[in-house]
Amino acid sequence: MPQSSSFGLSAVGDLAARGLRPLAIALGLPSADATTGACLWSKELVSNEYESLKVLAEISSTLSTRGLILLIYLLASFLNIYSFGFQFGVFWHLLPARRKDLFPLVVKAFGVAFAARVLTALVGGIVFGGVS
């Protein structure tokens, strides 16, 4: 992905961007904006939403209207690696007797949050289907 270096992605972020590009296209992101969207989405997952929304604000004039709307829906959540670690750390101290159950619970919560984000963007793609 040639544009990923301009977003300051790590190797993990670049790998995530490559995996998220087909999903972004399937959600309705225009193919011209798909690489940029996947890079922003992976930056949000690996780092945080503030950094990716800051970059989105800087490059919003280069995106299509539909791409911008869908990226706002995709990036507007607190689903990232830091929130995963935060959940695990808080529950680790609050529920010491149930520590063996924590990792599967946090992974399921992460998966449900990811599914909710994708479904929200999917509904946004349906609602704004005619916007170009």
pLDDT in tens, 17-64: 888 888 888 888 888 888 888 888 888 888 778 888 888 999 989 998
The predicted structure's pLDDT at residue 1: 42
**List of long-range contacts for 17-20, beta carbons under 8 Å, 24+ apart:** 17/41, 17/42, 20/45
Q: 131 pLDDT band (50/70/90 cuts)?
A: low
Distance CA 96, CA 40 (A): 36
pTM for the model? 0.76
CA gap 29, 129 in Å, rounded? 10
